Amino acid sequence: MTIAAPILSKFGAMNKSQRAIVANTDGPLLVIAGPGSGKTFSLVLRTLNLLLLKKAEPRDLVICTFTEKAAFELRDRISAAARKVGYSGDLTELRVSTIHSLCHGLLAIHRHRTVLGNNFETLDELTQLLFIFDNFDEIIGPDSGGKYLTQWATKWTAIKGAQSYFDKITEELINPDKLVSSGSPFVSAIGGAYKRYAATLLGNNRLDFAHQQKLVFELLSDPAIGDSVSSGVKYLMVDEYQDTNYIQEQLLLRLAAQSKNICVVGDEDQSLYRFRGATVRNILDFPDRVPGCQTIKLITNYRSHRQIVAAYDRWMASATWTANGRRFRFNKTIKPDSKAEHPEYPSIFCISGQDPDDEAKRFADLVQFLNREDETHFCCCAFAAVTQCGHENNLHSRIARRDGSVGSSGRSVRGNSRDRQRQDRGETPADGRVTSEVIVQGLATECGIRRHHAPARGRNG
């Protein structure tokens, strides 16, 4: 493993783990990147190292980010670092995008191998809802006994409810025929509506985000054409891997099946998007699913005060991270930057109230106080609320009602970890929440339905 001399000359301050990431140029790699640990910095230099060592040309690299904004930022940082080390290659050929944008590009190239016609349209969440509304009679059908699909009393709740199930069925690669024949009135109704929805969608030369990914997955899974679809990808790097869903995991593994040069970066502690179908198991099980995977941990937090880092570590250590022989967190201890100066000030507040509403009010009052115009030294502060499992979902709405001036992301580290354990055992989260993911997977399990797998050609693991 080698690092190009210009990188060592211009970026010699890399720590040991960052150097190991940059120097790793062959085979699968998992990077567990704690908060503020320099993961983007490491991805930028790893990309340039591959280019400077002539391991690949810019057109051979694919880097997937979670948002378009992150993609633009990463591209800009690669360009700036390239100028600093004197790399003169054509970086406009570098493919830096979200997974959705990557899929759109692959479909544009290989459209003739799919059912899509020219000028196909991809629907976002809003236009997907409007599409179901416009084709309501064909997809959902009339009510029966005052209920649509045996479940919803109004058209709009049926549209929103069905959309969630449609996306989950597609993303989990569930065979709708098995749902239709399940014997359960609701599961059968959803399965039939899904089949009508998919036929209507493709019949109108349109895709939703889930079907966009499914078509790419099917292309990559086809033994006759899969290799040609993935042939232009020598190195694949994926950021925020903890927030990928099942079908994204499958198509990414197939995209890197030929080269086996896949690097995924993420942090299971920051897995936030289960409500959108993401599964933290993708990153937790990556070393087991991909043979020969090397794991590197970025554990130095360069962003936060040492008191915050210490409190974070104590909080995480207070939970149990294994159940029934399965792990729910990688073993790691986040450390503050030992070379940084950490002034003494109250970086952590503990707020308690008589009840959840009172607690939310006190938190909102604190943030409003710190953000007053005359308190200019607090204007750039960021706030994080750690709450008890069971009422964190309500904390956001309670705070938001306070003059609309405070936003939060209610998140319980313990709650999320234990909810993940319950979900993997097929149980309901502790606070009684039932997501479409739990419902669909639970129904599929009851009916003996398993995900419909395409041939696992060349799959790693």
Q: Which residue has the higher pLDDT, 126 or 371?
A: 126
Superfamily grouping for domain 5-106+221-298: P-loop containing nucleotide triphosphate hydrolases (3.40.50.300)
* CB proximity list for 156: less than 8 A, separation 6 or greater: none
CA angle 455, 459, 461 (to 5 degrees): 120
In this prediction, residue 391 has a pLDDT band, given cuts at 50, 70 and 90, of very low
> For 154-212, what is each residue's pLDDT tens digit?
999 999 999 999 999 999 999 999 999 999 999 999 999 999 999 999 999 999 999 99
Mean predicted confidence (pLDDT) in 90-119: 96
d(CA 453, CA 221): 9
> For 308-336, what is each residue's pLDDT tens digit?
999 999 989 899 999 998 999 999 999 99
Q: Which residue has the higher pLDDT, 189 or 432?
A: 189
Cβ density class 395-408: b for 16+ within 10 Å, e for less = bbebbeeeeeebeb
Q: Which pLDDT score is estimated for 361?
A: 87
> For 45-69, what is each residue's pLDDT tens digit?
999 999 999 999 999 999 999 999 9
Q: Which residue has the higher pLDDT, 381 or 99?
A: 99
Q: Which pLDDT score is estimated for 371?
A: 76
d(CA 89, CA 302): 31
What global pTM score does this model have?
Answer: 0.81
Q: Which residue has the higher pLDDT, 9 or 448?
A: 9
In this prediction, residue 275 has a pLDDT band, given cuts at 50, 70 and 90, of confident
Q: Which pLDDT score is estimated for 348?
A: 83
Q: Where in the chain is the domain with CATH 3.40.50.300?
A: 5-106+221-298
Average pLDDT, the chain: 85
